[in-house]
Structure 1
C-alpha cells in the first residue's frame, strides 16, 4: 500500500498497494482466529472511478483510498462516513498527491494522532526511500517528510511496497519488495518486518522482528498490504504463491494472531481467497475490530467492500 519507472510503479501498484490453503490444517488447534460474516458492498456517494487500498481512520469518520493503481495517475482521496457501509466522496487528499504524471501516491495509513503515511514515487529513482509521512487535518496533509530508517533498503530495484502503522504510531510494519522487470512478473521477492519509532520521521527495525514474524515470512510467497489491529494482537495481510501470475493465481487475505504484543505471531489462517479475476486485497480494520474493509476487483473496476466480525 508501485520497475523502469512506469513499469515498476504500475506492477507495484497492482500488487499494492490488501495466504495457501493448507495453513489452516497445520494451525495450533488452540489458536483462536477472528471470523467475519458475508461481504457487503460499500457505497461512496459521488465517486465515479476505482477505489482501492482502503484505510479507515481511528475515529471511523474518514475512509481513505487511492484510485486505479496504474502508476501513471494514481492519487489519494477520501470520503466521510454516513454509516458503516456508506460514505460521501469529498475529493483528493490535498498535499499528498504529485502534480506531474507519471506518478503514484497510494496506500494510506494513519495513527490515532493524525500522523499520516503513504507510498509515493516522488523523485524516484533518484531517491529510493519511497515511504512518506505528514500531518492530516481536514483533508490536507502538511509537514511532509520522507520516512528514514534502516528498514529502507536503498538499493535499486527494492522498494517499500506497502506498510501498516500501529494505532499509537510506535510500530511500522514495512513490506520490502524487489522488482526486476526482466526476470520477474511483479515482485521477485518480498519480506515483512517491524520497525519502532525513534523520531517523528525515523523508524529502525526491531532486533526481534524476524522472530516475531517467523511464521509469516515464507520465501514461497509474495506478501503485501500489512495491517496491524489496534491492540497489536492481530496481523492481516495479502499473499499469493510466488511465480508467474496466471488466471488461476489465488490471492489470499490472511490473519495471524498472538495473545501478547511481545510474542511472535501464530501460523496464519486464510480468511478469504479469490483468483485474480475477482482479486481481493488490502484489509483494514476499525479500531474496535468489528469491521474489515478491503477492495475487490469487478468486471470493469475495483470497489471497496466490508464484512462484520462474527
Structure 2
C-alpha cells in the first residue's frame, strides 16, 4: 500500500489526475479492508513469478452508464468497448457496448442488438472482420451448446447461430465459456468447464483452443500441449490473446466463486509468453499491479493496455493498466 501511495504525487505532478484518483481509490479500498486484506490480495503463490510490466490501475468511465460492467472486450481497432452487466443468476445478463472517446472514457451506446435473450448473454469477443461471438445459455438445457456467433455492424449482430456443436467432445456435464477470437478469426480460445452434477458449480476450468475448418471450429489436437504451462489444478478461464499470438492473458482462481462473492486474494490475472505462435506458452507471470476481485482481461490491439473488471464495494467497474 505504501508503494502505491508513493506513486500518487508523481502522477499529480504530471497532471495525470485520472491515474492519481484511481490509485487513491485503491488505497481507500485497502484501508476499508484493513492492511491484512490488502496484503493478502497481493500474495504470490509458491513457485510463481510476478511481472511488473504494467503500471497502476486506472478506472474506466462509461458515460451515461451506471450499472455493473463486466467481461470487457476492446475491439481490435480500439473503437468499441463491449461488456455485459452483472453476471448473476438473479439478473438478466445482457450484452452492451460503448464507443471510444479516449483510452479511459467511452460513450454508452446501449444494448448490442440481435444477441440478447431472456437467458444469460455475456462475454463478448470479435475478430478484425467483425465476426462477433459470445456465451449464451439460451439452448443449454436442450443442446448443451453455449457459444454463439454472428456478424457485427453498427451496433447490431445479424445471423446469430450456435458454434459449439463441434466442440462437444467429452462425456459428462461440460460447457464451453469465455470465448476469445484471434484477430483473423481462425482460432477460438475458450474455457472448458466441468460442472458438478449435484451443485452445478464448476469443478474444472481449463483454457483450450479450437481451429476453424471451413465454417466450423474443432478443438485443436495440440491444445493440451500448447496450454500445458497454463492449466493447473486451480481454475483458469477468461483468455485474451495478443494480435501477434505471442501473449496470453487470463484469470486464475484459487477457489470457487459463488454468487459474485470472493475474498479477492484467490483471483489473479496472469500473462504468459511464447516466441512464436504454434509453440507452447511459457510459465505465466502474475501481473503485480492488478489485485482484488479481478477477472476478464482483454488486451488492446497494440498490446500496450490491458482492460479488466474489478469489484469495488457492491459494484463491478472496468479498469485499465498500461505497459511501463
Q: TM-score, normalised by structure 2?
A: 0.80
Matches within 5 A, 1:3-42: 21-25=45-49, 35-42=53-60
Change over 3 Å in CA distance of 1:137–1:191 after alignment to 2: same
Going from structure 1 to structure 2, the CA distance change for 1:37 and 1:274 (only over 3 Å counts) comes to closer
Q: 2:93 aligns with which of 54, 74, 78?
A: 74
Tell me which protein shows more strand as a share of its residues: 1
8 Å Cα contact 1:104-1:121 kept in structure 2: yes
8 Å CA contact retained: 1:23, 1:270: no
Matched, 1:217 2:236: no
> 1:204 & 1:127 partners in 2: Cα distance?
17
**Greater relative CO (CA pairs within 8 A, separation 6+):** 1
Could you say what secondary structure the match of 2:224 adopts? helix
Select 1:187's aligned residue among 185, 202, 221: 202
Using structure 1 for the length normalisation, give the TM-score: 0.84
In the alignment, which residue of structure 1 is the partner of 2:275?
A: 259
- Structure 2 partner of 1:91: 110
Q: Aligned pair 1:49/2:67, yes or no?
A: yes
Q: CA RMSD in A?
A: 2.2
For the structure 1 residues 248 and 132, does the alpha-carbon distance in structure 2 shift closer, same or farther, using more than 3 Å as the test? closer
Aligned residues: 278
2:222 paired with 1:208: yes
Residue 138 of structure 1, CA deviation: 0.3
State how far apart, in whole Å, the 1-side matches of 2:107 and 2:122 are.
20
**Unaligned stretches of 5+ in structure 2?**
1-42
Q: Deviations over 1:209-250 (max 9, x none)?
A: 1111111111x2111101111100001110112468763651
The Cα offsets for residues 95-148 of structure 1, whole Å up to 9 and x where unpaired, read as 0101x3xx1000000000000000001122111111000000000000111114
Distance between the aligned counterparts of 1:63 and 1:304, measured in 2? Answer: 10
TM-aligned CA deviation for residue 273 of structure 1: 7.8
| Alpha-carbon distance between aligned partners in 2 of 1:49 and 1:60, rounded to the nearest angstrom | 22
Contact 1:164 1:172 in 2 (8 A): yes
- The structure with the larger Rg is 2
* Distance in 2 (alpha carbons) for counterparts of 1:163 and 1:189: 16
User: Which deviates more from structure 2 when the two are superposed, residues 297-306 or residues 122-131?
Assistant: 122-131
Alignment partner of 2:76: what SS?
Answer: coil
In structure 1, runs of 5+ residues without a counterpart are: 1-18, 28-32
**CA offset at residue 182 of structure 1?**
3.0
Aligned to 1:198: 213
Distance, in Å, in 1 between the alignment partners of 2:256 and 2:211 is: 32
